[in-house]
Amino acid sequence: MMMTANAVRLMILQLLCLMNSREGMMMTANAVRLMVLQLLCLMNSREGMMMTANAVRLMILQLLCLMNSREGMMMTANAVRLMVLQLLCLMNSREGMMMTANAVRLMILQLLCLMNSSNFNNFKEKA
pTM, 2 dp: 0.25
> What is the DSSP track for 80-110?
HHHHHHHHHHHHTSTTTTB--HHHHHHHHHH
Write the pLDDT tens digit of every residue in 54-70.
455 555 555 555 545 54
With a cut of 50, say whether residue 31 has pLDDT above it.
yes
Q: Domain limits of the chain?
A: 5-122
What distances in angstroms separate CA 95 from CA 7, 19, 58, 65, 72, one per listed residue? 21, 32, 20, 28, 34
